[in-house]
Every structure is written in C-alpha cells, then in structure tokens.
Structure 1
Amino acid sequence: MPARSLFATRLYEARIDNQRLLAELARSIRIFATDDDAGKRWSREKRYAGYTSYASLNDLPRRDPAFEDLRKLLARHAAEFAGEVAFDLARKPKLDSIWVNLLKPGGHHAGHIHPHSIISGTLYVEAPKGSGAIRFEDPRLGQMMAAPVRREDAPDDLRPFVAVEPEPGLLLMWESWLRHEVLPGTAKADRLSISFNFA
C-alpha cells in the first residue's frame, strides 16, 4: 500500500486582483504610518523596522471604507478556508483584529504564533521584488529528534520550513497555531501588508 499523509497543515492562497482596492489600501497604510503617533511610538519601542498599527488602531474597518470592503472580502475567504480544514463551527469565522504593516528594507519579524484566534493571515498590498519571504515552520519540528535532513527536491509537505515570496495581491491564510516568521529581504522599497485574525 502507498504511504498516506497524516496531520496535514493547510496554507490557503488566493489572489486579490482588485487594483483599485489595493491602491486605496496602500494610500491608507501610508497615511496611518504618518499620522498614528501611538503606532509610531510602539514601533520604535519594539524596534519594529518601519510602522505597524498592531498595538494602536483597532477600528480600521470603521475608520476607513477600503478596510470595510476588505473585511467583507476576508470574511468570504475565511469561511472558504474554514470549510477546507473541516472546522465544525456554530457560526462563520468573525474578524477579530486587523492591522497594517509598513516594513522597511531589511526588516523582519521573529517566529511567532497568533494566540486566541483560529485563522490568521496576511494580504500583501505592495511587495517590491526582494521583499522578505514569510516562512512557515513544521509544528512537529521539536519532536523530530534524529530525523534525517530532507533532500533538496522534497515536496513542501515534507519540508521542515516552507517560504512563500510576497507579491502584490497575494492573500495567505493559515490556522493561527502555525508558527511563522518574516525573513529579511533585499528590496530597496517598503513592503506594505495587512495582517488579521479571525476568531
């Protein structure tokens, strides 16, 4: 009998081709990065290479019509992803938090998870060539003990790490327990993205 896969980890990928929406979101991110003093202060204190509204603005869909349009779009994708991973939910996933990121060249994020949520994700709004990839870690990594190194041609579902290169309009969603990080990039311009959690 052939081997079968167990305990799969799914990564949802979609393309957002609405150029008007992406342009409006990019404009808003740059305005927030200029006007949000609390976010700028938090970013400096935490040594974030750029700006994030993670700890400052918690009302983006009420604050900005483009983010309300995005909320509706993300809700449809989250419902589809929840179905793909066979979540047995009493209601559709609900957007719990959403924040913007303006990452300067060379900036990165250390490995982390998103507690208290079920689906997390990122939409890349502007991603110049060479923007740092997002890298996902096999959640079993700490249990592998003496596992051999995988061959270079191993498929993604057998690798201990899988990196995805950001592109404008790329939407990624994953289960919130999946550890991930943003690798330093070589781009010369800022990378704009929007991250979110569903509960």
Structure 2
Amino acid sequence: MTVRSLFPTLFYEDALGDEALVAELEDACRDLSREDRAGVRWCREHGYRGYTSYASLDDLPIRDPRFADLKRLLDRHVARFAQECGFELGGKRLKLDSLWVNVLKPGGAHSGHIHPHSVVSGTVYIAVPEGAGALKLEDPRLPMLMAAPPRTAPTFVYAQPQSGSIFLWESWLRHEVVANAAKGDRISVSFNYRW
C-alpha cells in the first residue's frame, strides 16, 4: 500500500530579525492610532475594537522610514516563502501591495476571511501580551468535507505569535484573529504581496 500526502498547505513562521525595529514599530503603530483621524473614524463606524489603518492609509513605507525598514525585511521573508511554495515567477519578485497597522484592544477579534487579489499574506507581531490569542488557520478542504466523519487531525490550527514573529501564508488560506483575551493591546502589522 502507498499513501501520499497531496497538495500541502505551507505556513511560514520566523522571527522578523530586528528587535530594535520591532520596538520602533510599536511607537509608530501607537502614534498612528492617535493621529490617523480617518482610520479612527472608520473603526468607530465599523465597530472595530481598537484601531486599524486598513481603510485609511496606503502609503506607510513612504510616510514613515520605520515602515520602509520593515518592508525591506518583509521582502526577504516573502522571497524565501515564495521559493518554498515553488512559485515560478519568471525571475521577478512578489511586490508589496498593501500594509496596515492593527492595534486590537482587549476583546477585539477579526472573523474568518481570505485576502483576494493577493498571492502571499502575512502578519508581523509587534506587541503580544500574555493571553492575546493566536492566529486561527482553517483546513482549506473544510467546505468540501460535507459527509466526512470526524478526523483525528485538527480542522483548525492555532499559530501562537510572540513579539517579533512573522507569519506568512498563501492568501487563499482562510484565517481569523481570535479574541484578544489579554489586558493590553495586541499590535501587529499585516500585509499582502501580489505578482
């Protein structure tokens, strides 16, 4: 008998590689959460518990050199992940399409979703207080398992970040941000890369 594992789902975990930058980014994210009036208004209008620049700012690497430094590190991590995924890019590299800040207050969450029109998505964790929760990843076969019996393998995987962690996945992989059960803010920077 032969049993093969087909079509694996890859998930990348590493340290960003610059602890000083992570500390600088915490200041930058907190500054934005106070100064970005359009973002604060969007969060209030949409019931986002905390702050995100997702709907308000699309130029962070140009606006702030700390985010430009982050982009340079992200480019390297994403290139390594793209190679592991076996992407044939014709000598080109994936390009940063969007990058946004998340300051999630206690109790805040983000329900299951994917990132359309992107190839690779990810998050860098800046501040992860104890109890802040994990990134919840869903088995991509779940919608097709209509009549399948329960499995010993988990349907969901929880990736627990630390300050300075970087997680990458292919953008079609459904995921969610579980509720922040910590007493402090969970701060992260999320991003998408396109071809």
TM-score by length of 1: 0.94
CA RMSD of aligned residues (A): 1.0
The Cα shift of 1:16 comes to 2.1
Tell me if the contact between 2:104 and 2:180 (Cα under 8 Å) persists in the aligned partners: no
Count, aligned residues: 193
Structure 1 stretches of 4+ with a deviation exceeding 2 A read none
Which string of whole-angstrom CA distances, capped at 9 and with x for unpartnered residues, describes residues 13-63 of structure 1?
111242210011000000000000000011111111100000111111111
SS in structure 2 of the partner of residue 82 of structure 1:
helix
- The residue number in structure 2 matching 1:134 is 135
Whether the 8 Å CA contact 1:131–1:166 is kept in 2: the answer is: no
Match of residue 192 from structure 2: 197
For structure 2, list consecutive stretches of 5 or more residues without a partner in the other structure: none
Q: Distance in 2 between matches of 1:95 and 1:17?
A: 19
Gaps of 5+ in 1: none
Aligned partners of 2:180, 2:188: CA distance in 1, in Å? 14
| Letter of the 2:186 counterpart | R
**Letter aligned with residue 180 of structure 2:** G
For the pair 1:70 / 2:65, whether they are aligned, the reply is: no
Aligned to 1:117: 118
| Aligned residue in 1 for 2:55 | 55
Q: Among the aligned pairs, what percent are the same residue?
A: 56
Q: Deviations over 1:111-151 (max 9, x none)?
A: 00001110000000000011121101111101112222223
CA distance in 1, matches of 2:95, 2:146: 38
Q: Deviations over 1:73-115 (max 9, x none)?
A: 0001111100001011131000010000000011100100001
* TM-score, normalised with respect to structure 2: 0.96
> Equivalent residue of 1:12, what SS?
strand
